[in-house]
Amino acid sequence: MMKVIVTGTYEEMSLTAAEAVRERVLSSPRCVLGLATGSTPLGMYAKLIEMYQRGEVSFKDIRSVNLDEYYPISPSARCSYRYYMDTNFFNHIDIDKANTHFPDAENEDSEKASTEYEKLISSLGKIELQILGIGRNGHIGFNEPGSFLYPLTHMARLSESTVRANSRFFSSPADVPRFSLTMGMKTILSASGIILLASGKEKREAVRRTLSSVIDTSCPSTLLCLHDDVTLIVTRDALE
Ligand code: PGA
């Protein structure tokens, strides 16, 4: 059964998630963290930066792998997920950036980039804790709803609803990249522990389906019920 922690506010959700990450890093200072982008984890990253500044945690020996990246994109582009992670987290803590990893979104061969990312993740060892957000349509990473899903890292086309949702980060929907490189569901489910964050009433339907214990590729987050250690940290407004 998925563990569910209901919080009253976004602030409380962010603190609860940050505390869980801090605990993991304190008990395993060289661990591999799987990290996510989007609006939802921003508060968690801010709390972790505060904890680092207070001397409560260090990321010196932590390795990280991000869930996904737009494709193709330059890491220096302001809308890349590399740029997001640098500006919202990595630049403010003591992590060694050489230990922070993303799919290679500049590689013209998307299949090669995908295979290499899988190899890289395996070479680092197990992802000990994977942070996830959830799309309004139940997507996880860029594993979008459909009649089938891919197990491993692959190039994925963004659904129209994701393009619309992500257009808030761009000047217009036309500027949103249509493709990404994303970990597949098996890559994600191979993590030892998973924290799924959800906040806001627009996530209600996706959260409801995630908790329904019915596996359905039309809502990729439902596959998380196959994992034994998933904690959903959710604000009350994202529950029915
Ligand atoms: P959001 O995105 O946190 O910006 O809502 C979540 C997701 O698409 O996975």
Q: How far is the CA of 57 from the centre of ligand 1 (A)?
A: 26
What is the residue-wise DSSP string for 95-155? Answer: --GGGEE---TT-S-HHHHHHHHHHHHHHH--EEEEEE---TT--BTTB--SS---SS-EE
pLDDT band per the 50, 70, 90 thresholds, residue 240? confident
Q: Determine the average pLDDT of the residues in 146-158.
A: 97
Q: What is the mean pLDDT of residues 4-20?
A: 98
How many Å lie between the centroid of ligand 1 and the Cα of residue 12?
A: 18
Counting ligand 1 atoms within 8 A of each CB, the residue from 134, 144, 169, 234 with the most, and so the one to mutate, is 134
Whether ligand 1 lies within 6 angstroms of the CB of 220 is answered as: no
Q: Which residues have a catalytic role annotated?
A: 68, 137, 139, 144
Mean pLDDT computed over 132-158 = 97
Mean pLDDT of 100-127: 98
pLDDT-derived band at 1 (thresholds 50, 70, 90) equals: confident
CA–centroid distance, 39 to ligand 1, in Å, is: 6
pLDDT of residue 88: 98
133 C-beta closer than 6 A to ligand 1: yes
pTM: 0.97
Q: What is the pLDDT of residue 123?
A: 98
- Contact call for residues 188 and 141 (beta carbons, < 8 A): yes
Among 120-134, 166-180, 215-229, the least confident range: 166-180
Q: Which atom of ligand 1 is nearest to the CA of 197?
A: 3
pLDDT per residue over 180-208, tens digit each? 999 999 999 999 999 999 999 999 999 99
Vertex 211 angle, CA 37 and 142, to 5°: 30
**28: confidence class by pLDDT, cuts 50, 70, 90:** very high
Residue 141 Cβ contacting ligand 1 at under 6 Å: no
Tell me the CA–centroid distance for residue 168 and ligand 1, in Å: 11
Contacts of 203 (CB under 8 A, 6+ apart): 134, 136, 238
Does 159 have pLDDT greater than 80? yes
**Pocket flag, ligand 1, residue 135 (CB < 6 Å):** yes
Sheet architecture: strand order including 32-35: 3-7, 230-235, 193-198, 127-132, 32-35, 63-66, 100-101
Using most ligand atoms within 8 A of CB, pick from 10, 39, 40, 197 the residue to mutate for ligand 1. 40
Question: 117: pLDDT confidence band, cut at 50, 70 and 90?
Answer: very high
Task: State the pLDDT confidence band at 145, using cuts at 50, 70 and 90.
Answer: very high
Atom index in ligand 1 nearest the CA of residue 202 equals 5
Ligand 1 in contact with 161 (CB < 6 A)? no
43-88 confidence digits (pLDDT tens): 999 999 999 999 999 999 999 999 999 999 999 999 999 999 999 9
